[in-house]
A and B are shown apart, each in its own frame.
Chain A
Amino acid sequence: MIVTHKYFLKFPKCETETPIVYHLVKDYDLEVNIFRAKVTSEGEGYLVLDLKGKETKIAEALKYVASFGVSIDTIDKGVIRDDSLCTHCGNCLSHCKPKALHLADPVTRQIAFDENLCIACGRCIDNCPMKACSSLLE
């Protein structure tokens, strides 16, 4: 069965020269969609990506990635929204292209966040006047 899952891969300081994403595509026949990536000068880094492919292949691929000491998280840590800080002004609405941040109710204009739609672009973090959106990745 073909499925799509979002993963948060955190790379430790890593000496490997192996092009991991290349192998995910070539050896495991996966479609890789990278939303966010960062590598620090110390060689640590992270990737937020979607993996699309056969469920069994994804499982094998994750084992392969883990063999490099990479920590894998299925919970999307791209963006965290703190509802207690949100004033529901709606400034985020035109900045969130995938509409993860959306109107829960057009009458009250309460804002809701659908993590599954979030591509962790970070535009809400930069735009929220109340700092209701943040990221562990920054």
Chain B
Amino acid sequence: MKTYNQINEKISSGKAVVLTASEMKEYIEAHGVRKAAKDVDVVTTATFGPMCSSGCFLNFGHSKPKMRITACRLDGVPAYSGIAAVDCYLGATQLRDRDPANSNFPGKFDFGGGYVMEKLVRGEEIELTAYSYGTQDYPLRDLKTKFTIHDLNQAIMVNPRNCYQNYNVATNCSDKRLYTYMGQLEPKMGNLTYCSAGELSPLLNDPLYETIGVGSVVWLAGARGHVFSEGTQHCPTCERTDNDVPAEGAGTLALTADMKKMRPEFVRGCSFVGYGVSLALGIGIPIPVLNERIAKHLGVRDKDIRAQVIDYSTDYPLRTGNVLGTVTYEQLKSEVIEFKGKKITVSSMSSRYKALEICQLLKDDILKGNFLLSQPLSPLPKEQGMKQLTIRK
């Protein structure tokens, strides 16, 4: 048994034993869970992929004369201004005004909120246009200027849902190509796409939320950030296989961090033809090895993690609840998978390459002694279902 304080003292004095998720799995396989729990202090987990429920609060500072911004555009992308005078919230999936979207299907979706967020972190110049109805204390009605992230008082990323614990696998049983947020799905189960870091993923390494809770420290695109809440759609009550691993979506995290401290290679605008724009994010979460149970969970392998295959031609859009079957991440990572008697090629929306890089970067930060862990202020809900929207007449 170790405590957060003991681990932080070891980190500060440069004596902590820190392994990446991959290294920990090998260590457990070589030496067993008991020894791993005793020897290892911290394990770094990570994920990198499109996370639509992301966005940021920006504060522009006051113009002269002052303006109570009613509506604004950042490089043509509307940001929500229904808060205080010069605050706004920019969402990752917001399109530019007059974007043709899917009017000429499939739409290209060249630019949107996620791209503006990437430009911000890159320190690039962004055009701000704003309108106001004008008040006596805030007389300015129109504004057009340019700014970079350095000109802002705050640029705080606030993401309602990141790090989905597990995720479904998409395929297409119809006879025409589908354009989805899981990529393009070829007819007649022409391909499968998945979006999870699998055995590297934070919540798959802490399946019962024993260390990751509200207040836990996270590495959000290179900045030190925090879990500020359970994520939206957090649904821990779900089917779980051995070692408590969820077989479906399950838990999620709401994350925040200072964008001024982020690294642009981990904040990437992205686009899906026929679907829309989003933001691909890199997230790392350190897991303290407090006891043997936590160590045991860290031993989870891709072969132990199952995901549900869903038909995006009917079952997904119509919410039938039907599942075609399940596959493991080990199967998904072999290039061709045998499913329903058919050999199918697999695509991933989540980058294992980037996730490995983040595990290593976070490990280096902890070893340098400048990334201490924080004990959760409160745990994430462990029992909770997910409601659906009933359309009432």
Using CB atoms, name the residue of chain B closest to A111: B353
A111 to B348, CA, bound (A): 12
A93 to B353, CA, bound (A): 14
Interface string of B272-314 (1 = CB under 8 A from A): 1100001010000000000000000000000000000000000
Residues from chain A with a CB closer than 8 A to the CB of B270 are: 129-130
Is B183 engaged at the interface, CB distance under 8 Å to the other chain? yes
Is B234 engaged at the interface, CB distance under 8 Å to the other chain? no
Is B224 engaged at the interface, CB distance under 8 Å to the other chain? no
Q: Does A94 lie within 8 Å of B193, measured CB to CB? A: yes
Is B48 engaged at the interface, CB distance under 8 Å to the other chain? yes
Contact status of A109 and B273, CB under 8 A, knowing A94-B192, A130-B268: no
Q: Does A130 lie within 8 Å of B184, measured CB to CB? A: no
Is B148 engaged at the interface, CB distance under 8 Å to the other chain? no
Is B24 engaged at the interface, CB distance under 8 Å to the other chain? no
Is A88 engaged at the interface, CB distance under 8 Å to the other chain? yes
Can you list 7 pairs linking A and B with CB atoms under 8 Å apart? A88-B353, A90-B351, A91-B183, A94-B190, A108-B353, A127-B183, A130-B268
The 10 closest A-B pairs by CB, nearest first: A88-B353, A94-B191, A94-B345, A129-B270, A90-B348, A94-B347, A109-B352, A89-B351, A91-B347, A87-B351
Interface set of B (CB-CB < 8 Å, partner A): 48-50, 183-184, 186, 190-193, 268, 270-273, 278, 280, 333, 335, 345-354, 356
Interface set of A (CB-CB < 8 Å, partner B): 87-95, 103, 106, 108-111, 126-127, 129-131
Given contacts A89-B48, A126-B273, 16 further A-B contacts (CB under 8 A): A87-B354, A88-B353, A89-B349, A89-B351, A90-B351, A90-B352, A93-B347, A93-B348, A94-B190, A95-B186, A108-B352, A109-B333, A127-B183, A127-B184, A127-B273, A129-B278
